C-alpha cells in the first residue's frame, strides 16, 4: 500500500449525512472572521469567489453574521438583518451551490465586543463589564467602552432578532445556521461568571446562566426547524477575556438541555480527545458532533491537521472542523487526501483586512506551475545511448 493509498482511506474522506443533507466528506470549513463585507454589512462579490473556491469541504460554515445592528463587532463584518444583506448572501450561496458545496451561516452577536465607532451604538451585555482589550475600529484600535446591562425587554428582542436572522439566512440560500455560543461573544458572556453578574433569572446559578443560550436556540429552531440548527461552544476557552469559573459544571447541563431540541449538530471548539469534559459532552450529546481540533503551526505544517482530526473521529466526533488550513488551501480536501504539501498562512494582518491578497489568491494544486518533464536516463545495459564526451568536457 502506498502512502497516498493510506491517506485516502482515512475516515475524514468518507461520505456521510447531516440530517437530510448529504456530505461528500467529514471535513467542515470552520467559520472564520475575514472582514471583507461592505461597511453596511453587505457581503461582497469577492466573498462569493472565496467560498466557492472551498466548496469541496463536506460543509462550509460561513463567517459570523450579526443578527442586529448593536451586535456588530468589528468593521466590515457581514450582517443578516436587512434585505440587502439577504441579497448579498444569496450571491454567495448561489456560487457555492454551483460549485457543488453546502453552507450554514454562523449567527453571532458581539455583546460587549463592539464599539460605538463600529455600530453607532453602545454595546450591550449581560452585565456592565468591559472587554479588557482594545477594540478594532475604522480609525484603529481604541479602548473598550463599558457595555450597558441588557434589560429583560432587550433580552427578549435579541432572542427575536436571532430567530429573524435565521429566517433571513434560509431565504438567502443557506442550508441552516450555527448559533455562536462560544469564543467570548454575547451568548458565551451569559454563560461565564466573569461577565455575568446578574441576580435575576439570567444569572447566578447554572440554570440561570444557560437560560439565554437556550432561549435563543429554541427560538431559532422554531423559526427554521431544529434540523437546520447547529450550536457552537468553547468549554474552557479564555479568548476575549472570558472567565467561565465553573466550566465542568456548566456545559453538561447546557448540552443535555440542547440535546432535547433535536438539533443538526453541536460544534465544540478546540476539542481535545483526551479531555474528560469532551468525553462527557460526547456521552451526553446524542446527535452529530463537530469537533475543531487544537492545531499548532507545527501540526498544520506537518500534516495539515489530518492526524488530529482522525484522533477526534476515533474519540467519537462525527465531523471535523478546520479553520486556517482551509483559509490557505482552497483545495484542502484534495491536499489532505493525497498527502500534498499545504500552503502556509502568509500574513496574519491579511486574515482580517484587505481584498484579494491573502484571501482569494491562495493557489490550488491545479493552479501551480507544472514540473517540467525530465528525460529518462538510459538503462545501465544500454550505455551506448549516452553521448560521447569531447576532450573539452
The pTM of the full predicted model, rounded to 2 decimals, is 0.92
CA distance 231 to 358: 29
Question: What would the grid cell of residue 303 be?
Answer: 500534516
Query: Phi, psi (5° rounding) for residue 170?
Result: -65, -40
pLDDT at 390 (0 to 100):
37
Helices 83-98 and 152-171 cross at an angle (nearest 10°) of 40
Q: How far is residue 34's CA from residue 326's CA, in Å, rounded to a whole number? A: 13
| Catalytic machinery residues | 185
Contact 107, 169 (CB under 8 A): yes
Per-residue pLDDT at 347: 84
Radius of gyration over alpha carbons of the chain, in Å? Answer: 23
Based on the number of CB atoms within 10 Å of its own CB, is 266 exposed (0-12), middle (13-18) or buried (19 or more)?
buried
CA triplet 291, 323, 160: central angle to 5 degrees?
75
Query: How many residues in total does the chain contain?
Result: 393
What's the pLDDT at 144?
97
DSSP 36: -
For the chain, domains (ranges, CATH) are 3-385 (3.20.20.70)
Residue 321: per-residue pLDDT:
98
In this predicted structure, what is the pLDDT of residue 208?
98
The Cβ of residue 317 has, within 10 Å, a number of other Cβ atoms equal to 24
In this prediction, residue 8 carries a pLDDT of 53
In whole angstroms, what is the distance from residue 287 CA to residue 265 CA? 6
* pLDDT value for 299: 78
Helices (H), 115-259: 116-119, 152-171, 186-191, 206-209, 211-224, 247-259
Q: What is the pLDDT of residues 134-156, one digit of tens each?
A: 999 999 999 999 999 999 999 99
The predicted structure's pLDDT at residue 368:
75
pLDDT at 375: 52
Which mean pLDDT values do the consecutive 10-residue runs of the chain (393 residues) have? 53 96 98 97 98 98 98 98 98 98 98 98 98 96 97 98 99 98 98 98 98 98 98 97 98 98 98 97 98 86 88 98 96 96 88 92 85 49 41 34
Instruction: Tell me if 316 sits within 8 A of 271, measured CB to CB.
Output: no
Amino acid at each position: 500500500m502506498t502512502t497516498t493509498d493510506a491517506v485516502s482511506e482515512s475516515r475524514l474522506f468518507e461520505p456521510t449525512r447531516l440530517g437530510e443533507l448529504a456530505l461528500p466528506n467529514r471535513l467542515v470549513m470552520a467559520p472564520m472572521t475575514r472582514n471583507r463585507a461592505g461597511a453596511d454589512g453587505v457581503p461582497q462579490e469577492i466573498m462569493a469567489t472565496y467560498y466557492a473556491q472551498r466548496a469541496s469541504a463536506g460543509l462550509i460554515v460561513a463567517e459570523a453574521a450579526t443578527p442586529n445592528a448593536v451586535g456588530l463587532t468589528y468593521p466590515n463584518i457581514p450582517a443578516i438583518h436587512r434585505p440587502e444583506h439577504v441579497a448579498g448572501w444569496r450571491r454567495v450561496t448561489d456560487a457555492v451551490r454551483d460549485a457543488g458545496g453546502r453552507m450554514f451561516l454562523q449567527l453571532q452577536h458581539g455583546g460587549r465586543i463592539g464599539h460605538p465607532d463600529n455600530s453607532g451604538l453602545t454595546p450591550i451585555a449581560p452585565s456592565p463589564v468591559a472587554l479588557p482589550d482594545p477594540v478594532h475600529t475604522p480609525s484603529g484600535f481604541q479602548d473598550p467602552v463599558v457595555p450597558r446591562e441588557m434589560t429583560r425587554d432587550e433580552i427578549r428582542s435579541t432572542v427575536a432578532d436571532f430567530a429573524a436572522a435565521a429566517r433571513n439566512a434560509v431565504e438567502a440560500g443557506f442550508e441552516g445556521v450555527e448559533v455562536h455560543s462560544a469564543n467570548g461573544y454575547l451568548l458565551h458572556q451569559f454563560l461565564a461568571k466573569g461577565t455575568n453578574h446578574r441576580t435575576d433569572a439570567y444569572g447566578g446559578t447554572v440554570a440561570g446562566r444557560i437560560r439565554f443560550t437556550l432561549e435563543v436556540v429554541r427560538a431559532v429552531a422554531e423559526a427554521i426547524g431544529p434540523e437546520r440548527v447547529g450550536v457552537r461552544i468553547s468549554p474552557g476557552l479564555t479568548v476575549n477575556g472570558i472567565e467561565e469559573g465553573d466550566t465542568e459544571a456548566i456545559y453538561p447541563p447546557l448540552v443535555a438541555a440542547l440535546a432535547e431540541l433535536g438539533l443538526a449538530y453541536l460544534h465544540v471548539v478546540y476539542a481535545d480527545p483526551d479531555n474528560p469534559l469532551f468525553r462527557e459532552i460526547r456521552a451526553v450529546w446524542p446527535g452529530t458532533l463537530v469537533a475543531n481540533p487544537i492545531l499548532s503551526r507545527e501540526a498544520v505544517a506537518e500534516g495539515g491537521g489530518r492526524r488530529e482530526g482522525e484522533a477526534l473521529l476515533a474519540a467519537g466526533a462525527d465531523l471535523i472542523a478546520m479553520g486556517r488550513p482551509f483559509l490557505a488551501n482552497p483545495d484542502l480536501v484534495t491536499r489532505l487526501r493525497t498527502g500534498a504539501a499545504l500552503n502556509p498562512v502568509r500574513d496574519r494582518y491579511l486574515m482580517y483586512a484587505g481584498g484579494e491578497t491573502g484571501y482569494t489568491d491562495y493557489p490550488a494544486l491545479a493552479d501551480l506551475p507544472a514540473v517540467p518533464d525530465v528525460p529518462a536516463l538510459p538503462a545501465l545495459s544500454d550505455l551506448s545511448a549516452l553521448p560521447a564526451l569531447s576532450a573539452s568536457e
